[in-house]
Every structure is written in structure tokens, then in C-alpha cells.
């Protein structure tokens, strides 16, 4: 059995995954964008032949975001899984997940929201040394560019639009990103590094950096680590997918609520300082539910324990 587990070099698996992500993520999107522009030109010859169409048209932007999530994450991870099927346990579903465990994850994610907002505020307030001001300006430009796209997508006031946004911003990214980062990368790096704690935090750092939104780096890294522990403790990919979905869905629903109230996107993101007890309660209850979840995994026969590895 050990011979099968070590048959494929982790470097080869990592190269395959990155190759699939680049080739599928870029080529399919370019082909579809080209076809879309061609159809648009045929239907409307007087319209300008420009890629800015996908930035200015909300429907087109949402469509390309959905295609990007599928071709950059879901397809590459699935192809790697199929190509190494029976050799490496990507997307483990060894143990069944109880409804109580879903409840613990749901509660932990909601309780962490105030603390995550505080961490995001601290992260956004960071200042790099004068010698790195060029880097900081680039980081800020990247953040502002992402904010413009996010604003265009999340400012949705119809129930049908909310449903579409939940699919595009919560369901598909949760499935795709967890397949790649927790399912594939944690497995690949775990074949190089014996310490699972190191693997979880390394993948969490990569997960946060991949989003190219550096003023939210720390809270996103913590979320990535949490999803990593969910996966290791449960040995079931559905738990980190569920946690990721709750995080994205809560932000999407909040934006929908504020939009219906007529509150602009810029005001949604304004940080309002809460009393210190709110953040302490957020931290304490988050820890309580994480511990309860951890203890619940011990009741699963053959459940993975970090300290036993």
C-alpha cells in the first residue's frame, strides 16, 4: 500500500495541477470571450469590438466570473483527481458528516464575523516602510481594482439576482477553491512535509495570496487555516466546502440587504468600532464551537487526529 501512495512524485502532481489551472483557466476563458465578442459583433455590427464589454456589462462579468471559477479550479482539480485516481486520496469523504458537525461549523463561522471584521480593519490599516511604498501602491491598486468588480456584482436588489450571486460568489467558489487548496494542495504538500500543521498553514498562506487582495490577507489566511483543519479533522471535503460557502454567502446576503436598503457599496465596507466585549465574545464563542466540532470528530470511527500522525 505504501508503494502506491508514493508512486507519483508530489512535484509532478503539483506541476500537473498548475498546468491544468493555467491551460484551462486561460485558454477556455479566452476562447469563450472571443466567441462572445464575435457573436456580439454579428448581432450588433456597430458596437465596438472591445474587451471592456466584460467589465462594463454586469451579466457578462458574472458569466466570466462563473466560467473562471469552473475552469481555473473545478476542472483542473477534477482532472488531477481522475488522472491519479486510486493512488492519492484527493477530496476525501472517508467519514460521514453528522448534522451536528455542520451546525458547529455554521455557528463558528457566524460567531467569527465581528472578530474577522476587526482583523480586516487592522490589516487594511497597515503601512509598509517608505522603501516599500511602491509595493504598497501596487497592493492598493490591486485592491481597488477588485473592489470595483465586486461592487458591480454584489449591488443586487432582486431575489433572482441574489440567487445568481449566491451561485457565482458562494457555491461555485466554495466547491472549486476547496477542491484545489484543501483537496489537492494539502495532499500534495503533505507528501513533502510530514507535519500537518505546517502543511495547513502553508496552504492557507498560498490560498490568501492567490486572491491578490493583500489588505485582507490575514483574515483570509485564518479562514484558509480553519478550512484546512476542518478537512484534516473530519477527513471529509464537504466540511471545508460548507464553511467556505457560509463565509461567502453571509457576505453576499449582507450586501443584498444593504443594497435593498439603499446603502451604497462604499458605506457597506466602512468599519464601525464595536465595544470590546463584542470582539471578546466573538473570539470566545468561535473557539467554543471549534472545540465542540473537534471533539465531535473523535466520535467518528477511524477519524484522523493530528496528534496521532
Model confidence pLDDT, tens digit, residues 21-46: 998 888 887 777 777 666 666 666 66
Q: Are residue 26 and residue 56 in the same domain, yes or no?
A: yes
Mean pLDDT, range 216-235, rounded to an integer = 93
Looking at the fold, whether 259 and 298 belong to one and the same domain comes out as: yes
Confidence of residue 241 (pLDDT cuts 50, 70, 90): very high
For 34, other C-beta atoms within 10 Å of its C-beta total: 11
**Tens of pLDDT, residues 258-301:** 898 888 877 777 778 889 999 999 999 999 999 999 998 876 44
Q: Answer whether residue 4 shows pLDDT above 60.
A: no
Percent of the chain exceeding pLDDT 70 equals 84
Give the least confident one: 48-57, 63-72, 160-169, 184-193. Answer: 48-57
Please tell me whether residues 129 and 52 are part of one structural domain. no
Using CA atoms, how far apart are residues 201 and 271, in angstroms rounded to an integer? 27
Q: Does residue 155 share a domain with residue 19?
A: no
**Is residue 83 located within the same domain as residue 105?**
no
Clarify whether residues 75 and 120 are in a common domain.
no
Domain boundary among the residues 57, 88, 119 is at 88
Q: In this structure, are residues 90 and 81 in contact, taking their beta carbons and an 8 Å threshold?
A: yes
**Residue 1 above 60 pLDDT?**
no
Output the pLDDT for position 247: 95
Q: Are residues 34 and 122 in the same domain?
A: no
- Which among 43, 63, 88 is the end of a domain? 88
If asked whether residues 84 and 158 sit together in one domain, one would say no
Same domain, 84 and 119: no
> Exposure string (b/e) for 262-300, b if CB count within 10 Å is 16 or more?
eeebeebeeeeeeeeeebeebeebbeebbeebbebbeeb
Domain around 187 = 94-308
> How many distinct structural domains can be found in the chain?
2
Same domain membership, residue 101 and residue 53: no
Average pLDDT along the chain: 84
- Considering the domain architecture, whether residues 37 and 102 belong to the same structural domain is answered as no
Pair 49, 146 in one domain? no
Residue 163 has pLDDT above 80, yes or no: yes
Amino acid at each position: 500500500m505504501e508503494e502506491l501512495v508514493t508512486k507519483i512524485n508530489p512535484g509532478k502532481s503539483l506541476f500537473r495541477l498548475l498546468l491544468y489551472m493555467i491551460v484551462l483557466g486561460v485558454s477556455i476563458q479566452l476562447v469563450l470571450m472571443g466567441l462572445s465578442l464575435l457573436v456580439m459583433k454579428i448581432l450588433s455590427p456597430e458596437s465596438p469590438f472591445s474587451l471592456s464589454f466584460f467589465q462594463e456589462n454586469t451579466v457578462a462579468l458574472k458569466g466570466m466570473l462563473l466560467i473562471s471559477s469552473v475552469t481555473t479550479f473545478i476542472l483542473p482539480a477534477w482532472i488531477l483527481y481522475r488522472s491519479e485516481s486510486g493512488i492519492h486520496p484527493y477530496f476525501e469523504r472517508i467519514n460521514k458528516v453528522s448534522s451536528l458537525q455542520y451546525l458547529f461549523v455554521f455557528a463558528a463561522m457566524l460567531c467569527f464575523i465581528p472578530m474577522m471584521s476587526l482583523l480586516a480593519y487592522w490589516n487594511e490599516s497597515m503601512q509598509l516602510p517608505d522603501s516599500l511604498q511602491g509595493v504598497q501602491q501596487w497592493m492598493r491598486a490591486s485592491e481597488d481594482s477588485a473592489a470595483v468588480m465586486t461592487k458591480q456584482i454584489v449591488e443586487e436588489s432582486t431575489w433572482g439576482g441574489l440567487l445568481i450571486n449566491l451561485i457565482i460568489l458562494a457555491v461555485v467558489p466554495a466547491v472549486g477553491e476547496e477542491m484545489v487548496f484543501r483537496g489537492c494542495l494539502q495532499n500534495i504538500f503533505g507528501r513533502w512535509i510530514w507535519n500537518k500543521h505546517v502543511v495547513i498553514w502553508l496552504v492557507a498562506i498560498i490560498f490568501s495570496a492567490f486572491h491578490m487582495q493583500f489588505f485582507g490577507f490575514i483574515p483570509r489566511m485564518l479562514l484558509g487555516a480553519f478550512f484546512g483543519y476542518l478537512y484534516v479533522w473530519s477527513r471529509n471535503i464537504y466540511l471545508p466546502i460548507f464553511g467556505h460557502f457560509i463565509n461567502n454567502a453571509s457576505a453576499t446576503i449582507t450586501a443584498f440587504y444593504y443594497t435593498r436598503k439603499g446603502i451604497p457599496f462604499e458605506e457597506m465596507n466602512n468599519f464601525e468600532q464595536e465595544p470590546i466585549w463584542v470582539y471578546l465574545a466573538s473570539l470566545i464563542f468561535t473557539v467554543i464551537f471549534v472545540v465542540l466540532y473537534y471533539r465531535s470528530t473523535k466520535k467518528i470511527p477511524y477519524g484522523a487526529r493530528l496528534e496521532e500522525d
